[in-house]
Chain A
Amino acid sequence: MTARLEGPISTGAEWTFELLEQYDRAIGEIARNEFHLDTYPNQIEVIASEQMLDAYASLGLPIGYPHWSYGKEFIRNEQAYRKGQRGLAYEIVINSNPCIAYLMEENSLPMQALVIAHACYGHNSFFKGNYLFRQWTNADAIIDYMVFARNFVMQCEERYGHEAVESVLDSCHALMSHGVDRYRRPTPLSAEEERARQRERSEYAWKQYDEIWRTLPARGNQGRDSAEDVLRYPPEPQENLLYFIEKHAPKMEMWQREIVRIVRKLAQYFYPQGLTKVMNEGWATFWHYTLLNRMHDKRLVDDGFMLEVLQSHTNVVTQRGYDQRGYGGLNPYALGFAMMTDLRRICEKPTAEDREWFPDIAGGDWLKVLDFAMRNYKDESFIGQFLSPNLIREFHLFAVADHSEKEHLLVDSTHNEQGYRRVRQLLSQQYNRDGQVPDIQIVDYAHRGDRSLTLQHRLFRGRPLDDDAVEVMKHLARLWGFKVRLQTIGEDGRVHNEREALPA
């Protein structure tokens, strides 16, 4: 290390494997020793652009089961890429242990270093630290599981035919966003525990036994109620549709259940990524910026290197205004990076406003604050907690209300003293998954009747389902094998409309 302090590791844009190793070592040392980033070991893979296209199509996973929709993605990307409409992402990183990151061979050395810092230390430490990833994904097992999934699906295709497998997969994909658990299921009791609990209960009943109180008349309709309750299944509404189907679909074959399970697992694996887009990208972007600047400070890289890095960094964190050309929503890189940088600023150079808004962290140790935020928040809560008035001003954020009974859109609040809290709250809401995925739950399975399945869609602020619902219902009916019914329940608790689908 000391020997290298004298000058840059290298100059020029050409990379070699030795140089990649040197840069990775240098970045890794800074990340670990100066900034205490905790990461999985890295596996850096150099690939060609065609391989990057392949990786795109399979959701970034290095291996996946065959399905036409991946072919569609592949063709779409390839077409766009060949026409020059779109460049390729510089990197793909996989939440696994070791953490796999792809580098494209076409990139110049500064870009490779940027990607290493971004993916191998930024994303990697996020995967390892964030509570959602810790809770919902199993980095050690995902690659092995995908190998299993691929083999299983291919075996099924051989045995039951392509069409049969494809139709199950299609239907599962349609329900993928409703195939995730948002809360841990209790682990099932072992037989031993079950017996112990039963013993305890009967003992309790026995101790409480008191014949005198039995003379009290039973309360009116209690008995009937409970009888109905026994019949009602599931006892509580179920929001994980794929889970319920896997466990309870009346006439599904074992292999079909296994496929449902595979898709469900996949959906669950991607669940945290959807909830932490802003944070994850912001965190990685913040770290490649910080790490590489640190390298420049230590004179490990020269000015030309830094200029190239900064140019591409600036491209990544550009935020266009709502009425500018090329506007595509809030850029998670821009917002995330700005928030992370702003947190550091609040800690290091707090203003009076910051002290008022963030009394706990203003003037604190920025490394600890950032680490805490990374570990314990998702986009929704992160924005709700840490978006500062300073950033609202910087982004010129404003909120527009679109209420169906009003003729006009209404500007709800803007970046001023009265609007800060409201804008922050609304933006946080925007990253709430409930706002994006309709609330649909299974309320009844007529297991003693016609085996039909009843689902309820609870209207969220009066927003109806879109036209796809008809198609999705067909898929649902195909998986279930009997009639399925979807009731839309208004906020007043009344059934607004009902649609049904029968298996074809």
Chain B
Amino acid sequence: MSTIIDRRLNDRNKSAVNRERFLRRYKEQIRKSVSDIVAERSITDMDRGGQVRIPAKDIREPQFGHGQGGDREMVLPGNHKYAKGDKIPRPEGGGGKGNGSGEGQGDPGQDDFTFSLSRDEFMNLFFDDLELPHLVRNVLGEVREYKMQRAGYTPSGVPANLSVVRSLRNAMARRIAIGAPLKRELAELQQREVPPDEEIAELQRRLDRIPFLDEFDLRYRHRVKIPQPISRAVMFCLMDVSASMDENKKDLAKRFFTLLYLFLSRKYEQVELVFIRHTDNAEEVDEEHFFHDPQSGGTVVLSALKLMQEIIADRYPAEAWNIYGAQVSDGDAFGADPEKSRACLAEQLLPKLRYFTYIEVPDDSDRTSPLAFAYQRIDSDKFAMSTVSDRSEVYPVLRELFHKEAA
């Protein structure tokens, strides 16, 4: 009469598709949440899931229902003080008493809808904002890079990997091994005075039945995934923190740095971050101060480049480290500073670096700033620069780099 079935081994993620649809539908709201998370997280910490909050009213599913007003009676349990005819003051904010006995459909005081995004979901949304192309997403999204390496031969595989030489060699060996005794016997029989025709014919048939190529002769080239050799990298984040850099610009900068960091952390086992902020003189700080500590003063870009140079000489010898640089500034530099900076960067720093990117976050994107004007003359394939005023423009600066390194 009853059947008992063990379903525990069945697919456990039947709702994944529905969950994904939910995320897609409320992308806008979720994206807002993701932005908040990006703002408060450290760069090195970006690479994981997070809690997202959506206002409950946005995800309501409407239905025709009775509203407040009109007449109704409610039957409630647990009376211990009322008698017929007692008057009860109307509770605040609604005709219902308690929340609905029978009528209550969805409590109005529902909290915001909060839930967690997995790491993949979070990263995807983060990348969406930056309008990353898919190829790059794959590179960044993958936890580790592998290289395929040959590892001998295997008896099973796809036809494309068939090793003809090996397979035929095996076939020949098999034919010799199986055929040899038969051939020997055949030779013996033929030596006789009166060769027994029937036996000879039988042996001949057996010899003919040995297949030229059998399935177990086949050999395929075997390949295994080998994690790519690992190495160390250091990334210098340079930012102008003079008063003209507002929160919005810093947010752009943060996304830019994060993207570069993610890229590097996929490529290198160990990535160190160095934060250098500068006004009219530069100092090395931790991330918290870098993004959130307001400073005032003028702007001398050269000071930051000099400091970077010192730190490299001090702690990160170019032979042992892959050095990357990323600079964000609003481009306001004065006097000889832009020209000197260009010279310093192009002649002294760049030879030691793997790559250097500069983004400018100007107030007015039409005007070419003095710094950009100077930097434009740097002619090197290790250098990229761009003017950015929106998140979606961040990626193109790094395109060259990603393209080159991801290939």
Are B12 and A51 in contact, with the CB atoms below 8 A? yes
Q: Which residue of B lies closest to A427 (CB)?
A: B75
With A68-B21, A74-B19 as contacts: A319 and B114 at CB distance below 8 Å: no
Interface residues of B in 7-40 (CB under 8 A from A): 7-8, 10, 12-15, 17-25
Q: Given A401-B73, A462-B70 in contact, is the A105-B8 Cβ separation under 8 Å?
A: yes
- Whether B102 lies near A411 (C-beta < 8 A) is no
Q: Which of A308-334 contact B (CB under 8 A)?
A: 319-324, 327-330
**B184 interface hit (Cβ, 8 Å):** no
Name the residue on A nearest B76 (C-beta). A322
B407 within 8 A of A: no
Taking a contact as CB atoms under 8 Å apart, the answer to whether A436 and B102 are in contact is yes
Q: Per a CB cutoff under 8 Å, which of A28, A322, A430, A462 touches B78?
A: A322
Tell me if A107 is interfacial: C-beta within 8 Å of chain B. Answer: no
Chain B residue with the shortest CB-CB distance to A335: B77
- The residue of chain A having its C-beta at the shortest distance from the C-beta of B86 within the complex is A411
B97 interface residue per 8 A CB criterion: yes
Interface pair A404/B70, CB less than 8 Å apart: yes
B59 near A: Cβ within 8 Å?
Answer: yes
A399 to B74, CA, bound (A): 5
B8 touches A468 (CB 8 A): no
Q: Are A70 and B71 in contact, CB atoms less than 8 angstroms apart?
A: no
Q: Which of B61-69, B279-287, B318-326, B377-385 contacts A (4 or more CB under 8 A)?
A: B61-69
At the interface, yes or no: A390 with Cβ under 8 Å from chain B?
no
B80 in the interface (beta carbon within 8 A): yes
A78 to B100: give the CA distance in the assembly, Å.
Answer: 25
The A interface, classified by DSSP as helix, strand, loop or mixed, is: mixed
- Binding stretch for chain A, among B87-95, B224-232, B294-302, B392-400: B87-95
Tell whether A396 pairs with B79 under 8 Å between CB atoms, given A68-B22, A71-B22: yes
Q: Is A89 an interface residue (CB 8 A)?
A: no
The answer to whether A472 and B63 have CB atoms under 8 Å apart is yes
Please report the total number of B residues contacting A with Cβ < 8 Å: 68
Given A47-B8, A404-B69, A71 and B18 contact (CB-CB distance below 8 Å)? yes
Could you mark each residue 43-63 of chain A with 1 if its beta carbon is under 8 Å from any beta carbon of chain B, else 0? Answer: 111111011011001100000
Contact A51 B7 (CB under 8 A): yes
Other-chain contact of A411, B14, B23, B62, B88 (Cβ < 8 Å): B88
Q: Tell me how far the C-beta of B311 lies from the nearest C-beta in chain A, rounded to whole angstroms.
A: 44
Q: A468: which B residues are within 8 A, CB to CB?
A: 60, 62-65
Is A454 close to B, CB under 8 A? no
Q: Give the interface segment out of A1-9, A252-260, A412-420.
A: A412-420
User: A265 at interface (Cβ–Cβ under 8 A)?
Assistant: no
Closest Cβ–Cβ distance, residue A500 to chain B (whole Å):
16
Classify chain A: how many residues form its interface, as a range: 35 or more
Closest B residue to A457 by beta carbon equals B64
Separation of A423 and B13 alpha carbons in the complex (Å): 47
Chain A 430-463: CB-based contact to B (< 8 A → 1; otherwise 0): 1100011110100000000000000001011111
One of A130-138, A170-178, A198-206, A362-370 contacting the partner? A170-178
Contacts of A44 in B (CB 8 A): 2-5
In the bound complex, do residue B70 and residue A472 qualify as a contact, i.e. CB atoms below 8 Å apart? no
Instruction: Assess A178 versus B61: contact at CB under 8 Å? Given A17-B4, A54-B12, A54-B15.
Output: no
Flag whether B334 is at the interface (Cβ < 8 A): no
Given A46-B5, A174-B62, A436-B102: A330 and B77 interface contact (C-beta under 8 Å): yes
**B90–A41 touching, CB < 8 Å:** no
Q: Which residues of A contact B87 (CB under 8 A)?
A: 408-411
Q: Which residues of chain B are within 8 angstroms of A174 by Cβ–Cβ distance?
A: 61-63
Would you call the interface of chain B mostly helix, strand, loop, or mixed? loop
Residue A360 at the chain B interface, CB threshold 8 Å: no
Query: Which of the listed residues B75, B104, B115 has the most CB atoms from chain A within 10 Å of its own CB?
Result: B75
Contact B64–A430 (Cβ < 8 Å): no
Interface check A66, CB cutoff 8 A: yes
List residues of chain B with CB within 8 A of the CB of A66.
17-18, 21
Smallest Cβ-Cβ distance to A410: which chain B residue: B87
B212 within 8 A of A: no
Chain A residues with CB under 8 Å of B67's CB are 463-467
Pair B71/A402 contact, Cβ less than 8 Å: yes
- In the complex, chain A residues 185-244 whose Cβ is within 8 Å of any chain B Cβ: none
A79 in contact (CB, < 8 A):
yes
- Asked whether B313 is an interface residue with its Cβ less than 8 Å from the other chain, the reply is no
How far, in angstroms, from A397 to B13 measured CA to CA in the complex? 44
| A463/B69 in contact, CB under 8 A | yes
Complex CA gap A410/B85 in Å reads: 6
Give which listed residue, A45, A78, A462, contacts B69 with CB less than 8 A.
Answer: A462
Least distance between B301 CB and chain A CB atoms (Å):
48
Residue of B nearest to A395 (CB): B77
Pairs across A and B, CB under 8 Å, 25 listed: A28-B2, A42-B2, A44-B3, A44-B4, A54-B12, A54-B13, A58-B15, A70-B15, A74-B15, A105-B8, A120-B2, A174-B63, A329-B100, A330-B75, A330-B101, A396-B77, A397-B77, A404-B70, A408-B87, A418-B84, A430-B101, A436-B105, A457-B64, A462-B71, A464-B66
- Shortest 6 CB-CB distances between A and B: which pairs? A321-B78, A463-B70, A71-B22, A466-B67, A71-B18, A462-B70
Besides A17-B4, A322-B79, A461-B72, 13 other A-B contacts (C-beta < 8 A): A20-B4, A21-B4, A58-B18, A72-B113, A75-B115, A120-B2, A321-B77, A330-B102, A404-B69, A411-B87, A468-B63, A469-B62, A475-B62
The interface of chain B, by Cβ under 8 A from chain A, is 1-8, 10, 12-15, 17-25, 59-80, 82-90, 95-105, 113-116
A residues adjacent to B (C-beta < 8 A): 17, 20-21, 24-25, 28, 41-48, 50-51, 53-54, 57-58, 66-72, 74-76, 78-79, 98, 102, 105, 120, 162, 166, 170, 173-178, 319-324, 327-330, 395-404, 407-416, 418-419, 423, 426-427, 429-431, 435-438, 440, 457, 459-469, 471-472, 475
